[in-house]
Chain A
Amino acid sequence: MAKNAKIRGDKLCSMKEAIAESLHDGESLVIDGFTHLICFAAGHEIIRQGIKGLTAIRLTPDLVYDQMIEAGSVKKLVFSWAGNPGVGSLHALRRRSQKDSKSRIELEEYSHFGMVARFLAGSAGLPFWTLNNYGGTNIGDVNPLIRKVQCPYTGKELATVPAIHPDVAIVHCQRADKQGNAQVWGLMGTQKEAAFASQRVIVVAEEIVETSLIRRDPNRTLIPSIIVDHVVHEPWGAHPSYVQGYYDRDNEFYVNWEQISKTPETYQNYLQDFVCGVKNRDEYRRKVGSDYWNRLVKKSRMCEGVDYGF
């Protein structure tokens, strides 16, 4: 993309176009967001396009990566906590990571802090990051990328992790302009670091707004347009995850997922019906049913705003 196009260009496109142009077989990907703002719409589109051999990077793979694993999109997982929070296991992953598994996917494992540190190094233009961690554990014993360095000032031994530079970052947000200036409030996870560390960035927004609105509250902009390649308008694109100020987390879905995901048959049926059996997010929303969404709509809690004058 030419420099002026990257800064000023209109990058609005469909999810289908954004994924097709950004992500290819064998590449690495981060769909960020911690519990909040997890872009399931992107995960589903990746499955529909049949992209294979991906290295999927996330602190918590969550249901979104588990679905991509079950669909056969993922070759390797780079992660720090793999479960369905408060509910149970990620069953597609579990079926591919134990000694009785027929096939296995490659796992590269850190703690949350280790993953955060990899993104920090990647986003800061540094080759590695130091952290005071992993002493007295086996975590560093099973991951050759966790190494040690001696502090040149104090002599203290510190752990290191290398920078990570995913090919693609997908960041869901409340609102963005067509250039990709993305505004986020509520939990931010490692969205900023993941986006700055990546080669290509897709911003997915609940609402597309004018740049003038972005400029009225610049502290809220987490991702600046100069690092963004595609902008997708995808209302409800994070469901069953949530978007603060838009819709609640669908906890019932996460609880019920345990039964759906436990056997390959019911899991595959779900993917067939709700992922491959629909063309896009609009169809997904219709398929789930128009009555379904009301209970998740937010109850407003506005803040007053601040004075940016001088």
Chain B
Amino acid sequence: MASDSKWSTSEMMAVRASQELRDDDVVFVGIGLPNLACNLARATHAPHLFMIYESGAVGAVPERLPVSIGDPALVTDSLSIVGQADIFQGFLQNGLIEVGFLGGAQIDRYGNINTTVIGDFENPTIRLPGSGGACEIAVHSKRLLVIMRMSPKSFVEACDFVTSPGTQFHSKRKSKGLGKTRSELGLPGGGPTTVITDLGVCQFIDDEMVLTEIYPGIEVEKVKVSCGWPLRISSKLKVVPAPGQAALSLLREKLDPQKLYL
């Protein structure tokens, strides 16, 4: 049926994000769409995707989509279960994580991400959850994927607070290292490489976000007005192919039939 092959933006984001994962990648899986994207990749082109969850599951193969990051289905049939001290030190700080996956409330052109507060830290308009493992994931992952919906409120000129570092340190809040690059700051990981949005995909070129792909039916102008800074557009802008029927069926029927994330 024609309506079945129509895709939602969440489905497109999950499918496009899953394509960023390669077979045998060691990925630090976050909850929400990243979780769905990783499990989709494992069910399609990356059957050996090595999934690590911050809760302590290593080599997880969840038979149901985990609602939380510490779901019991992550434990059953895993390769190893370790304490969180091992997760953050032995796996993350020790450089074993190739791919990290984050979302956020605000992001700037350098990929600095805010998940702490909207407004002033001492007197916030909105109190957000905070870092969780996001800061260290952004510090240490060899490549960092970001999934966020685009709007002028979320893609901002400068973040109210930087929770997770991008390619260069910029923030509305005063700080010592402002303007410095990752290598000047001594950050071991590779930093953000790709931002998957609900309108298209950005890559970082010379440390700055550039729109390189756009979803079918989306106008470039729509992307521009959804971004809080003058977004650079690649001269080789590509249109992302619509998700295939196989991936859509997997997402809808097998991976997220309860529509937890879709």
Given contacts A34-B55, A137-B164, contact A186 B68 (CB under 8 A): no
- Closest chain-A Cβ to B199's Cβ sits at a distance in Å of 24
- Closest chain-A Cβ to B74's Cβ sits at a distance in Å of 8
A305: chain B residues at CB < 8 Å are none
- Closest chain-A Cβ to B144's Cβ sits at a distance in Å of 12
Given contacts A112-B136, A131-B93, A188-B81, contact A139 B129 (CB under 8 A): no
Q: Is A288 an interface residue (CB 8 A)?
A: no
A190: chain B residues at CB < 8 Å are 83-85
Check A82–B84 contact: CB distance below 8 A. no
B85: chain A residues at CB < 8 Å are 116, 119-120, 190, 193
Q: Is A199 an interface residue (CB 8 A)?
A: no
Interface residue tally on A, bucketed by range? 35 or more
Main secondary structure of the interface of B (DSSP, over half): loop
Check A136–B187 contact: CB distance below 8 A. yes
B133: chain A residues at CB < 8 Å are 81, 111-113
Q: Is A206 an interface residue (CB 8 A)?
A: no
Check A113–B88 contact: CB distance below 8 A. yes
Q: Is B166 an interface residue (CB 8 A)?
A: yes
Determine the residue in chain B with the shortest Cβ distance to A38: B70
| CA distance in complex: A185, B82 (Å) | 10
Q: Is A26 an interface residue (CB 8 A)?
A: no
| CA distance in complex: A79, B129 (Å) | 10
Q: Is A134 an interface residue (CB 8 A)?
A: yes
Which single member of B83, B121, B135, B185 contacts A142 (CB below 8 Å)?
B121
B83: chain A residues at CB < 8 Å are 188-193
| CA distance in complex: A192, B127 (Å) | 30
Check B182–A186 contact: CB distance below 8 A. no
| CA distance in complex: A193, B81 (Å) | 16
Q: Which of B209-225 contact A (CB under 8 A)?
A: none
A112: chain B residues at CB < 8 Å are 54, 84, 88, 131-133, 136
Determine the residue in chain B with the shortest Cβ distance to A136: B165
Q: Is B45 an interface residue (CB 8 A)?
A: no
Check B124–A86 contact: CB distance below 8 A. no
- Interface residue ranges, A against B (CB under 8 Å): 34-36, 59-60, 79-83, 85-86, 89, 93-94, 97-99, 109-113, 116-117, 119-120, 131-139, 141-142, 156-157, 185-193, 242, 244, 248-249, 251, 254, 301
A-B contact pairs, 11 of them (CB 8 A): A34-B55, A99-B120, A111-B132, A112-B132, A113-B92, A137-B162, A141-B176, A187-B57, A189-B56, A249-B67, A301-B76
Q: A137-B135, A249-B71 are in contact. List 11 more A-B contacts (CB 8 A).
A: A35-B68, A81-B133, A112-B88, A116-B84, A132-B93, A133-B135, A136-B169, A136-B185, A187-B75, A188-B83, A189-B83
